[in-house]
Amino acid sequence: MDLATFAVQCLNAVQYGLLLFLVASGLTLIFGIMGVINLAHGSFYMLGAYLAFGLAPLFGQNFVLMLVCGTLLAALFGYLLEWAFFSYLYQRDHLQQVLMTWALILVFEELRSMLVGNDVHGVKAPDWLAGTVALGELMTYPVYRLFASLACLAIGAALWFTVNRTRLGMMIRAGASNRDMVRGLGIPITWLYRVVFAGGVALAALAGMIAAPMSSVYPGMGGHVLIVSFVVVVIGGIGSIPGALVAALLVGLVDTFGKVFFAELSGIGVYLLMAVILVWRPEGLMRKGW
Amino acid sequence: MVATLNRWLPLLAALALAALPAVLSPYLQDLVLRVMVLAVFALSLELLVGTTGLVSLGHAAFYGIGAYATVKLSPEFEAGNLLLLLPAAMAAAGVYAAAVGALSLRTKGVYFIMVTLAFAQMAYFVVHDTKAGGGTDGIYLNLRPVLALGGQTLINLDDKRSMYGLALGALVATYALLALLRRSRFGHALAGIRVNEQRMRAAGFSTTLYKWAAFVLAGMLAGLAGFLVAAKDGFVNPEMLSWHESGAVLLVIILGGLGHLRGAVIGAIGFVLLKEALSTPALVGHVLAERWQLTLGLAVMACVALMPKGLIGLARRKESGS
Amino acid sequence: MPFPFSKLALATAAAALSLGAAAQTPPPLKVGFMLPYTGTFAALGDAIEKGFKLHVDEQGGKLGGRAIQFFKVDDESEPSKATDNVNKLIKRDQVDVIVGTVHSGVALAMARAAKESNTLLIVPNAGADAITGPLCAPNIFRSSFSNWQPGYATGVIAAQKGHKRAMTITWNYAAGTETVKGFTEAFEKGGGKVIKDLSLPFPNVEFQALLTEIAAQKPDVVFAFFAGGGAVKFVKDYDAAGLRKSVPLVASGFLTEGTVPAIGAAGQGLVTAMHYADSMETPRNTAFRNKYAVTYKSNPDVYAVQGYDAAQLLAAGLAAVKGDFAKRSELQAAMNKATIDSPRGKFTLSPQRNPTQDFYVREVKGDYNVMSGVAVKALADPGRGCRI
């Protein structure tokens, strides 16, 4: 592999990693702070992609506005969902919540099938992002992918800022380390959880919306994303946003180069990475890295 | 009176299961067979999750390895020997469990869940993506195992009754083994580890060794379930090792109620029957049967909301009320 | 007042007649669909069922003079549940004929159960070569294709265009590798050489790394096998990577089945090989498409055709025994000898019971796969390993 190809492959790895990071960030938030193993996260990603499919024609070239509106809708949805299905489960065994999120997957899939049908759909990128830049002799790189990478970085930064530099973030951090303390301080933890859950859903949906024009929108699309995001969350250390970023980039690299060099067994690469890291560091890379 | 009845319930249930083939249609016999195999699989996981407090999301790997070992070790053009294949399936699953356990028990809680998942996914991709593993389409078991002694075939799993009998035997044996185990010193140690590992270590127990032994035993029992399903279906497929399968069996024991052997069995019954009923047009009508995902999802949500201790909690509550 | 009276008498007589007829009519033949009604392949399962029922409707609710009763089971595209699911049809509903399915792994499990219970099985999609190869049986038929076939036809096209160095790309699963094998066989027979096979784990859709690999190797042509959502993403990514201008893409037709509108501009002009094309302007196809569109308010695709032909195949068998399903070996022999007048063009079955059919060159124009020629006439699957 020559240097130019290698550089392009690195770019591919980073771009994939950043998108994974965005999906995983919502998961790590819900997971780290509320301790909920949310199997329905992939469904929220799917929800985002279908939102983009539904909203894109309405917003036309105002793609960014569409992302904002879609995210708000998803956040509202997440807020209601937490209220309806999770708010009374926290005192129980965590595994009960797992069962609940699994049931949600089934319900979401069926609702999707009833509302939108089972066909494969595409979402068009807005014209101002439709171009490509030349890359090496044969290849071009779509501008939209660069936009997506930048968007993921920006959202990641905003998330980091919210968690580390705002009052809400302080409450969230306190809630993650000690629930009783937060309650003692007079902060309504139920409200905090609801906000965190809504935020997690919004992030997953946002990732789905950003991915939609690069990908396609189809039944069962959440399933594959789900398991990879769990891998990212756990490698990075549950609840750690910088950890999720590092882990997502690592997964991107392993996935990309695994496909090139070990085609037959490339499926194993990511899981091997996770096993090795966890055996070496049983709590992930950055457990305490808030 | 109720307490006595309660104690003998598993035995009564076993006798009832033994009598069922006489009255059930072939289809319902199959359904019971399916429940029994799932119950063995669920019991093996219950040993880890409910008894020891180790939540594994990779248990299907051992189940799948048991099934694959059965098929791979069967001779191509004649029936394999049951006495050879069954232990071999359990041993194959046990060996992988020994390795996975040794590595994954370094981690705890959610990290343990994910490491077990990782090792299971690796096994999944080995059978899914390589020629040696048989590939995505899976492998046929050309002839089902038989038990032959001195030239006489005693058990032939091609025969439905024999298959049913073997599965029932496996279920009873697994249940009995685990029930005895829970009463033994080993079982008490595992329960102690679940409640407070720190204290057990302070009391001089080598907790990691105990957990590892439980992990290996659970893996072997899952391998037994795998053997049964390979013999029953005559076909293995990589999806048997997938995380969906691991998740499904975990859901079975959560639904049934953790911490009780009966919970695992009740969960298996509940899960199979619920899904079967909700997708049967004759019972719920064509429209609803086609939307079984929706109704099953809603039913499970209702179970979670209304039954904090799982299906078994429902039975217990009634019992204490009476 | 004689008129009303005679009318009444007529009605009574007619009722008596129909009663007598009812006593002689055999009970309806039970046909069980085992198809994906949920999950990624749900749209395909739906189309197959609609296609099948369309033909039954055309025959007045009958096939070969025998009334039909339908049962259905969702296979969830889940091979590990396949045996249990197919037994719902065989043992619970006690169907005479099973029609299914899409997913090859599930179909293989079904084939085994069908063999053991000697239930007639018609596979309306799953292309696993083994079904009409090593696992073939007198009671197992296929109305679709074997994976080898579209791959082989595409290989012929690529070689005819004068390409010498090809790369292939697919998911690392049986349908993909079998299709690639067919492509390689034809392409290398035609004087080309496959320089590298690329693959990624199913159903991973991150193609970028492999596209970069293609750009680095600069082959003359790329052969791809993907379907559904992954196919849409692949074609879009291939186009966005700028490769379509420099390295032509050819594919098995599944890349553009049901996905053309979703792919949009990125797919225009794409050449694929398939046993059917939406735009075939034969009277047979036009009639079929109109009927389907009127009945279901949607356009048929290849899956609907395969479902429709599964019904035609069964009808041919039933007609030969005048609806007497008990004459199974005669019925199966008639099915095997039948010439099916399909919307895709007439086809027969190979001794292994796989369609021997024409493969067309198709080009994506607008929202359709437009037929632009014949790649291979009457292409028969070699049926390797079948002992019938």
Q: With an 8 Å Cβ cutoff, are C105 and B136 in contact?
A: yes
Compare C140 and A215 and report the one with higher pLDDT: C140
Average pLDDT over residues C333-350: 96
Cis peptide leading into residue C101 (ω within 30°): yes
CA–CA distance, C130 with C385 (Å, rounded to integer): 8
**Min distance C92 CA to chain B CA atoms (Å):** 5
C5 confidence band (pLDDT: 50, 70, 90):
very low
For A198-257, give the DSSP string.
HHHHHHHHHHHHHHTTTS-B-TTHHHHHHHHHHHHHHHH-TT-HHHHHHHHHHHHHHHHH
- Find tokens 């079967």 and name the residue: B276
Distance from C-alpha of C232 to C-alpha of C223, rounded to nearest angstrom: 15
Q: Is the minimum CB–CB distance between C195 and chain B shorter than 8 Å?
A: no
SS3 A170: helix
Q: pTM score, two decimals? A: 0.90
> CA of B183 to nearest chain C CA: how many angstroms apart?
35
* Residue A2 to residue C210, Cβ atoms within 8 A: no
* A138 vs C198, C200, C246: nearest CB: C246
Residue indicated by tokens 């790649």 = C375
Length of chain A equals 290
Residues of A in contact with B49 (CB under 8 A): 95
Share of chain C above pLDDT 70, in %: 94
Is B31 an 8 Å CB contact of chain A? no
Task: Pick B142 or C211 by higher pLDDT.
Answer: C211
Give the DSSP per-residue string, A119-139. Answer: --B--PPPGGG--EEEETTTE
> Is the pLDDT confidence value at B224 over 80?
yes
Give the pLDDT confidence score for residue B317 in this predicted structure: 56
pLDDT at site B320? 44
Closest CA to A159 of A191, A210, A209, A202: A202
Q: Tell me what pLDDT residue B105 has.
A: 93
**Residue to substitute from A96, A232, A240, interface B, most B β-carbons within 10 A:** A96
Positions in chain A short of pLDDT 50: 289-290
- Asked if the model's pLDDT at residue B1 lies above 70, the reply is no
The number of C-alpha atoms within 13 Å of B42 and in the hemisphere containing its C-beta is 32
**Residues of C numbered 58-97 whose beta carbons fall under 8 angstroms of chain B's beta carbons: which are they?**
71-74, 78-80, 82-84, 87-88, 91-92
Any CB–CB contact under 8 A between A13 and chain C? yes
- Using one digit for the tens of pLDDT, what is the confidence trace for B22-51? 899 999 999 999 999 999 999 999 999 999
- C200, C240, C262: residue with CB nearest A266: C200
Q: Do C237 and A217 touch (CB under 8 A)?
A: no
> Which chain C residues have a beta carbon less than 8 Å from that of B242?
80
For C34-77, the pLDDT digits (tens) are 999 988 889 999 999 999 999 999 999 999 889 999 999 999 98
Q: When comparing pLDDT for C175 and A185, which is higher?
A: C175
A122 with C236: Cβ contact below 8 A: yes
Task: Supply the mean pLDDT for chain B.
Answer: 91
Residue B107 to residue A278, Cβ atoms within 8 A: yes
**Cβ contacts (< 8 Å) between A267 and chain C: which residues?**
172, 201, 204
Chain A residue with CA closest to B257: the answer is: A96
pLDDT at C3 over 50: no
Confidence (pLDDT) at C118? 94
Tell how many helices (H) and how many strands (E) occur in chain A. 11, 2
Q: Is A113 on the interface with C (CB under 8 A)?
A: yes
Are B297 and A231 in contact (CB < 8 Å)?
no
For residues A122 and A144, what is the distance between their CA atoms, to the nearest angstrom? 15
* Closest Cβ–Cβ partner in C73, C74, C105 for B137: C105
* Strand-pair partners of B140: B235
Of the candidates C40, C210, C242, the beta carbon closest to that of A259 is on C210
Q: Whole-angstrom distance between the N-terminal and C-terminal Cα of chain C?
A: 69
pLDDT for C149: 97
Residue type, C135: L
Inter-chain CB proximity B129 and A271 less than 8 Å:
no
The four Cα atoms B213, B219, B225, B231 give a dihedral, to 10 degrees, of -120
Q: Which residues of A touch B106 (CB under 8 A)?
A: 278-279, 282
Q: Indicate whether B299 pLDDT > 60.
A: yes
Nearest-CA distance A278 → chain B (Å): 7
**Cβ distance of A216 and C246 shorter than 8 Å:** no
Span B57-89, pLDDT tens digits = 999 999 999 999 999 999 988 889 999 999 999
Q: Do A139 and C209 touch (CB under 8 A)?
A: no
Kindly state whether B117 is in contact with chain A, defined as any CB-CB distance less than 8 angstroms.
yes
| Chain B contact set for A231 (CB, 8 A) | 114, 118
Q: Provide CB contacts within 8 A for B234, sequence distance 6+.
A: B140, B141, B142, B144, C83, C112, C116
C204, A136: Cβ pair inside 8 Å? no
Q: Of the candidates B125, B137, B239, which has its C-beta nearest C201's C-beta?
A: B125
| Span A129-138, pLDDT tens digits | 988 888 877 7
Contact B110 A265 (CB under 8 A): no
Strand extents, DSSP E, C304-354? 340-342, 345-349
Give the residue-averaged pLDDT of C351-368. Answer: 95
pLDDT digits 0-9 by tens, A153-169: 999 999 999 988 998 88
Q: Is the pLDDT of residue C195 over 70?
A: yes
In chain A, whose CA is at the least distance from the CA of C241? A140
Please report the pLDDT score of residue B316 as a whole number: 65
B281–C83: do the CB atoms touch at under 8 Å?
Answer: no
Separation CA B74–CA B85 (nearest Å): 7
With an 8 Å Cβ cutoff, are C242 and A216 in contact?
Answer: no
The predicted structure's pLDDT at residue B114: 84
All chains having 3 or more CB pairs closer than 8 angstroms to chain A: B, C
- Test A99 with B251 for CB contact under 8 angstroms: yes
pLDDT at B2: 72
C94 part of contact set with chain A, CB < 8 Å: no
pLDDT the model gives residue C201 = 87
Predicted pLDDT at C24: 65
Note the pLDDT tens digit of each residue in B228-287.
999 999 999 999 999 889 999 998 999 999 999 999 999 999 999 999 999 998 888 888
Per DSSP, which regions of chain C are E strands? 29-35, 62-63, 66-74, 97-99, 120-123, 140-142, 165-171, 193-200, 221-225, 249-252, 271-274, 340-342, 345-349, 355-365, 368-379
The per-residue pLDDT of chain C, averaged, comes to 91
> Are the beta carbons of C38 and A113 separated by less than 8 Å?
yes
Q: Any CB–CB contact under 8 A between B72 and chain C? A: no
What is the pLDDT confidence band of residue B322, given thresholds at 50, 70 and 90?
very low
